[in-house]
Structure 1
Amino acid sequence: MFIAEKLKWFADRDPDKVITSFKGKEISYRDFYRKAENLAGYLQELGYLKEDRLALLLTNSDSFLICYYACQIGGITILPINTKLAPPEVEYILAHSEVKGIIYDDQFAGVVHSIGEKLPALQDTICVKGKFEEIIVGERQVKKPELLEEDTAVIFYTSGTTGRPKGVMLTHKNVAAIAAIWSESMEMDAHDRMHIVAPLFHCAASHVFSIPVIYKGGMVIIEEAFSPETTIRTMEQERATIFFGVPAMYSILLNMPSLEQADLSHLRLFCYGAAPMPYELIRKVKTLFPDVKVQNLYGQTENSPGATTLKDAYALEKVGSVGKPLPQTEVRVVDIFGQPVPPGQVGEIIVKGPQVMKGYLKNEEETARTVKNGWMYSGDLGRFDEDGLLYIVDRKKDMLIRGGENVYPVEVEEVLYAIPEVLEAAVIGIPHEVYGEVPKAYIVLKEGETLSEEAVLAFCKTQLASFKVPAELEFLDTLPRNASGKVLKNVLRGQVKV
């Protein structure tokens, strides 16, 4: 059952149940479906046909999800855009994807209008603070198209950490599969109240959390963005059962006195992803919330995203692991010839399942390099342990070679995270006239903490082989990150003086 059909089923079965809560405004399943149906009907009146593309330039809101489901109902391909991108980056995505229209927040009106003049294919621009409200409260009829499994439902553009961003095409089959997979893995049901602070334009917030919980008849609590005090207050007042954040968010929340004072007795699950969670941080979470399970999630846009998960039973025992394959999913670690390697040996992680993408938009060459015989080659280096749990060693492109020795930055970062004063750390390779490359570490300290370079290096020398110890160290106020919370190592590399 595709996700729009599942939404309709719940709207008919339990129409008065709340589906979204945003800034104190609640919408029922019945009203939500009707709003989405009205928008789909309006777009059809404008001439939108199956697989025509509609872009979203929206911050987190209930309107975002209404737009998403409207496109699923009408068979239109939705294209969420990162709201943190610069105008030239937005223009590239709109031009490359040849979208027919865009729905946007009023704060982006200037950007949309200036770009629209350069893009003749862009026919319709709709602001959510204007005509949008009139559209979704009408009584429009929808001609429901015959949707096929391989029709493109959504296109997410990758963050473009290397070169131009690529448009990942996900099908209706992909979206329904990932909703079923994650809802099963996190044991979601109609009683769950999912708390979303991560950006919905990113596939994780939409496809790992929001859509799976709606797929089970639950509720989505939406915040515009992460703000520690507001997030804690919302979590308490809305009686959230599941919360997702990147490790940096947990580090900030655990330093908030109000967290211990809040009544979070409804919480049952803390999820994290995008970066490793240090042992000490997981221990603090489990000490403060002994009845709340902790679950790590691993996947990429190209697999909807979903590959493996580390469940609570292994949270402290297997720190650093991303767990075992998800339901309906196969995961292998292979050598350069595509052959599986034995446990303990490092290779490229490949993934197979109903969630693997259709391909990259207008890029058959890159699609052929990434998807081979149904297997998606992730570009991540990893290894399985003897118990069948997967560990990410690093991105294939991030590995550096120092004098013939492989150095995996994630391994060095894990050691840096073990230093109590360290909030965040990132390691890259920098040029060296003798060794070719050597590791350089960037460190962000916790508020109010001090730490010397000598103390960091002394600790590293007790934990790492000498060739892995950072040759250089730099303290920063913050690490550059993209909207999904991943550190932009290309930005750090760009700061290196050659």
Structure 2
Amino acid sequence: MAERDSAVVDALTRVGAPFELTDIVVGGVPMRGMRRAEAGLASLFDSFDRFADRPFVVADDLRLSFAEVASAAARLAGVLVERGVRPGDRVALAGANSAAWMIGFVATVAAGAIPALVNSRGTAADMAHAIALVEAKLVLADAKRATMLAPFGFDCLVPEIDVSPGAPPLPRPGAAPGDPAMILFTSGTTGRAKGATLSHRAALTGLLLAQMAGAMIAIRMFGADALTMPRPQQATLMAFPLFHVSGCHATFLSALASGNRLVMAPKWEPDAIVRLIEREGVTAVSGSPAMIWDLIAAKERAGATLETLTSVSTGGQAQPVNLLDAVVAAFPRAIVGTGFGATETAGAIAMHTGSDYLANPRAAGRVLPLAEVRIRDAEGRDLPVGEAGEIVVRGPMVTSGYWNDRPASDRALKDGWLRTGDVGALDAAGNLTILDRLTDMVISGGENIYCAEVEAAIQQNPGIVEAAAYGVPDERLGERLVAVVRGQGPVDLDALAAHLRGTLADYRRPTEIRVTQEGLPRNVLGKVDKRALRAAHEQGEGADAAA
């Protein structure tokens, strides 16, 4: 398998190939990069000409072609310049998923400015903090966020979509590969969000790596002619928030680069999503495990086939094996996939799809070309194959640092290596397995307990939809492990406890299992909010059972 992948990579990256490699230097470190990633983010605008008449955005009753999006963005770029926006200025985008948001992004890049992707689901104070941090020249907002931000005195513009004839050409400003291209904010689960800065090279490398992974899959399935075979336009469901790397990078910009159609989901309402997929012939869906569970349940309630789906992928956390089984059963025509990445790596740096994923479902995927991944101990020493430690990454896709936050940048980056804060292990074939977040790891009685491993064991039990494990203070052990679960129906705690006794070592089993009838609390990116769970535990909420 490794030899097969190596031959495919060589074919895709040779001189003249779509993903041709070249020698580059990033932060004083020599490395290999993709030639096309040196061109600047505005190089993506070629798609507006290439796919001009294709439908690009579907949002409720609004349907816009590639040409219409370019036209509206060109007009808005002119407005930005009239409002005093200059190359290198930051323009904050604060709004719900919409065609206007995407047009605002394109217009900002066309004006030579740097889009700062504000978490629009946060409080007014959270949004104001992000906008002030990047010293935004202008805020492009929807009406709701403009009202929320009014007390802070920012220059806000609520743009209208103008696709009438006579728009000027869309500007395509040049940029040096290392110049800042965009700022994405971290999820802020452990404090105030930081602005991860992606250079033009990093942003394009992340995008090209995802395309290259898709090309590798196509070649495996259909042979060397796969890249030249006619392919109908794909339709991708836009379910992730656009301010997140999975929404902006992996979905929006990927569709722009590939000429695909984006189908906007106003909000995640599974029953409505099923109807939307059927009506629009959606071919690709990606979401958190909880979202995919919801989709499967809604599909069954509706008696729908959703046979247009050819790609179903999950991400954002370790994937439970029983979810993979459920996806394969529910969507037999779809290629299943998962991966691992971060805001700071412009998307995935490891991917798992199809038969490889089915054969090794506990891994997040094989490390992608150009991404150097090592596993290190607490002292920063490299660990051998198979041992668990912190995942560190280096490559042209890695962030150049956090905007206006040198201390955080220095903590996260050293000699080009990014500390991800994730615990994992590599096998001899280059497959990466995610075990936990460093901040989630529980140390009980001197033993390290990886919560993600415990959660995976719980979710192997039939009927468990989602689970979360976390530590609470304990006078004797320092910390003890607690779990919260939600089932498809009533949860048999005795059966679950028996299952865990046969699956996990003594010290890795939860001392309590709590049942909730509601979904687990999650942050705006769909990740379980363990701070909220700990707070609920302190207040004595939930039904307990000894494990």
Moved over 6 A (4+): 135-138
Question: Which residue of 188, 200, 220 maps to 2:262?
Answer: 220
Letter in 2 for 1:160: G
Cross-structure match for 1:404: 446
Cross-structure match for 1:91: 128
Distance in structure 2 (CA, Å) of the matches to 1:145 and 1:59:
27
SS at 1:458 equivalent: helix
- Write out per-residue CA displacement over residues 166-217 of structure 1, whole angstroms, 9 at most, x where no aligned residue: 1111122122111111122134977222211121121111111221121122
- Write out per-residue CA displacement over residues 125-179 of structure 1, whole angstroms, 9 at most, x where no aligned residue: 1124xxx235987735776543221222211111111122111111221221111
- Write out per-residue CA displacement over residues 334-378 of structure 1, whole angstroms, 9 at most, x where no aligned residue: 223434322221111111222101110111122122122222111
Cross-structure match for 1:298: 340
TM-superposed deviation, 1:260:
7.2
Matches within 5 A, 1:272-283: 272-283=314-325
Matches within 5 A, 1:324-473: 324-446=366-488, 449-473=489-513
Distance in structure 2 (CA, Å) of the matches to 1:145 and 1:287:
48
TM-superposed deviation, 1:496:
4.0
**Conserved 8 A contact 1:341-1:347:** yes
SS at 2:178 equivalent: coil
Cross-structure match for 2:158: 127
- 314-323 or 329-338, which deviates more: 329-338
Does 1:2 pair with 2:40? yes
Cross-structure match for 1:474: 514
Change (3 A) 1:13 1:125: same
Question: Which residue of 273, 283, 292 maps to 1:250?
Answer: 292
SS at 1:376 equivalent: strand
Does 1:183 pair with 2:211? yes
SS at 1:487 equivalent: coil
- Write out per-residue CA displacement over residues 43-82 of structure 1, whole angstroms, 9 at most, x where no aligned residue: 0111111121111121111111111111111111111222
**Conserved 8 A contact 2:72-2:162:** no
Does 1:206 pair with 2:236? no
Change (3 A) 1:173 1:190: farther
Change (3 A) 1:40 1:350: same
Q: Normalized against structure 2, the TM-score is what?
A: 0.84
Aligned length: 486
- 155-164 or 261-270, which deviates more: 261-270
**Conserved 8 A contact 1:241-1:268:** yes
Cross-structure match for 1:485: 526
Distance in structure 1 (CA, Å) of the matches to 2:299 and 2:156:
45
Does 1:108 pair with 2:148? no
Distance in structure 1 (CA, Å) of the matches to 2:59 and 2:366:
34
Letter in 2 for 1:163: G
Cross-structure match for 1:237: 279
SS at 2:383 equivalent: coil
Distance in structure 1 (CA, Å) of the matches to 2:165 and 2:394:
42
Task: Give the RMSD, CA atoms, in angstroms.
Answer: 2.2
TM-superposed deviation, 1:257:
4.5
TM-superposed deviation, 1:25:
2.2
Distance in structure 2 (CA, Å) of the matches to 1:6 and 1:327:
22
SS at 1:456 equivalent: helix
Distance in structure 2 (CA, Å) of the matches to 1:13 and 1:289:
32
SS at 1:133 equivalent: coil
Q: Normalized against structure 1, the TM-score is what?
A: 0.92
Distance in structure 1 (CA, Å) of the matches to 2:361 and 2:524:
25
Cross-structure match for 1:146: 174
SS at 1:255 equivalent: helix
Letter in 2 for 1:490: R
Distance in structure 2 (CA, Å) of the matches to 1:394 and 1:402:
15
Does 1:312 pair with 2:354? yes
Change (3 A) 1:465 1:353: same
SS at 2:359 equivalent: coil
TM-superposed deviation, 1:452:
4.2
TM-superposed deviation, 1:296:
0.1
Question: Which residue of 57, 64, 75 maps to 1:27?
Answer: 64
Question: Which residue of 83, 104, 110 maps to 1:46?
Answer: 83
**Conserved 8 A contact 2:367-2:430:** no
TM-superposed deviation, 1:244:
0.7
Question: Which residue of 154, 165, 172 maps to 2:200?
Answer: 172
Distance in structure 2 (CA, Å) of the matches to 1:30 and 1:153:
23
Change (3 A) 1:392 1:143: closer
**Conserved 8 A contact 1:79-1:156:** yes
Distance in structure 1 (CA, Å) of the matches to 2:513 and 2:65:
53
TM-superposed deviation, 1:328:
2.4
**Conserved 8 A contact 2:73-2:170:** no
SS at 2:502 equivalent: helix
Structure 1 gap ranges (5+): 117-121
**Conserved 8 A contact 1:279-1:316:** no
Distance in structure 2 (CA, Å) of the matches to 1:301 and 1:182:
14
- 488-497 or 244-253, which deviates more: 488-497
Q: What is the percent sequence identity of the aligned residues?
A: 30
Change (3 A) 1:490 1:289: same
**Conserved 8 A contact 1:425-1:443:** yes
Structure 2 gap ranges (5+): 1-38, 219-230, 540-547
Does 1:70 pair with 2:107? yes
TM-superposed deviation, 1:270:
0.8
Letter in 1 for 2:241: P
Distance in structure 1 (CA, Å) of the matches to 2:319 and 2:85:
44
**Conserved 8 A contact 2:470-2:482:** yes
TM-superposed deviation, 1:236:
1.9
Distance in structure 2 (CA, Å) of the matches to 1:136 and 1:38:
10
- Write out per-residue CA displacement over residues 443-462 of structure 1, whole angstroms, 9 at most, x where no aligned residue: 1222xx11244333222112
Distance in structure 2 (CA, Å) of the matches to 1:144 and 1:268:
34
**Conserved 8 A contact 2:207-2:346:** no
Letter in 2 for 1:24: D
TM-superposed deviation, 1:383:
0.8
Letter in 2 for 1:461: R
Change (3 A) 1:200 1:278: same
- 250-259 or 368-377, which deviates more: 250-259
**Conserved 8 A contact 1:394-1:409:** yes
Change (3 A) 1:275 1:136: farther
**Conserved 8 A contact 1:194-1:210:** no
